[in-house]
Amino acid sequence: MAQTIQNGLIPIVTPISLVRAETLGYSIDGETAEEMINSIISRVREVMSLSNKELEKKSDAVRAFALKNHTRKAYSESFQKLIDLIK
């Protein structure tokens, strides 16, 4: 997922993916397969209804977030903070 959002792909994901879909994209809801399928259809329709300008703005925001938080440097810094907490 990190690689796709670095390319500006607006995520439509389940909550278990741990992507901040609430702010970056769309979350798939539902407990059953039917509920999840209906949620996916709804989210895709929602994205399709956006103007090109809105899509570009969302895509740019997703890309900027990913390039700040999902890079080797960001992971290294995060891991170092974890190590420092354990010490």
Q: How confident is the model at residue 20 (pLDDT cuts 50, 70, 90)?
A: low
Q: Is the dihedral of CA 37, 47, 4, 21 positive or negative?
A: negative
pTM, rounded to two decimals: 0.74
Instruction: Kindly state the tokens that stand for 46.
Output: 């929602």
Report the percentage of the chain scoring pLDDT > 70.
94
Instruction: Kindly state the tokens that stand for 8.
Output: 């500006």
Question: Is the pLDDT score of 87 beyond 70?
Answer: yes
